[in-house]
Structure 1
């Protein structure tokens, strides 16, 4: 897996992406106006994109990214209250207890 920034980036976002890559022992790949899929064609790996207020995971070959946003808790809780499933808890295979 490698780390890059969102398409519209700035120095702070780049610094944060580099720090995350360092902490996770991953390569940082500069965006250079390329799409994530274009970089993935070269690198052949999953990609973690550092955006302004969220992180997005782009699995290699996936059509849509998986993302986390700090405010996502509200709509996730609302889904659970309606008896709907939550993709994050499903993926983590969380159980009561």
Structure 2
């Protein structure tokens, strides 16, 4: 069976997130799936689907069977810096093999 992609909203959608979800459906030609109090994992399982969640401040993309989303946030660099400031590792920085003194333009 082929995996499809559907669009839904956050658990308690407001008018703005419903409009945003509909815009994504229209632009990408994807079907909309109402939440109906179901988890993203349940929607994914029932429809054998990847799921795009249109939230108030960002989009999240869940691949089928995943509980961890890919997401876009307009200021990803800020939370990376906060992690590093706390002494935590950041997977993106590790993958880039950055070291003290290196410069890097994060355009994500």
TM over 0.5: yes
- Aligned: 1:58 with 2:65: no
Structure 1 residue 74 displacement after superposition: 2.2
Please give the alpha-carbon distance, in whole angstroms, between the structure 2 residues aligned to 1:8 and 1:66.
20
Provide the alpha-carbon RMSD of the alignment.
2.5
Structure 1 residue 86 displacement after superposition: 1.5
Structure 1 residue 38 displacement after superposition: 1.1
**In the alignment, what sits opposite 2:92?**
86
Residue 40 (structure 1) aligned to one of 12, 31, 44: 44
Structure 1 residue 85 displacement after superposition: 4.9
- 1:39-97, Cα deviation, whole Å (9 max, x unpaired): 11221010000111011111111131111111223234x379xxx6528x87xxxxxxx
**Structure 1 segment 5-20 matched on structure 2, within 5 A:** 5-20=9-24
Which stretches in structure 1 are left out of the alignment for 5+ residues?
91-97
Runs of 4+ in 1 over 3 A off after TM superposition: none
- Contact 2:9/2:17 (8 A) holds in 1: yes
Which stretches in structure 2 are left out of the alignment for 5+ residues?
85-89, 97-108
Normalising to structure 2: TM-score of the pair? Answer: 0.68
- Number of residues paired by the alignment? 88
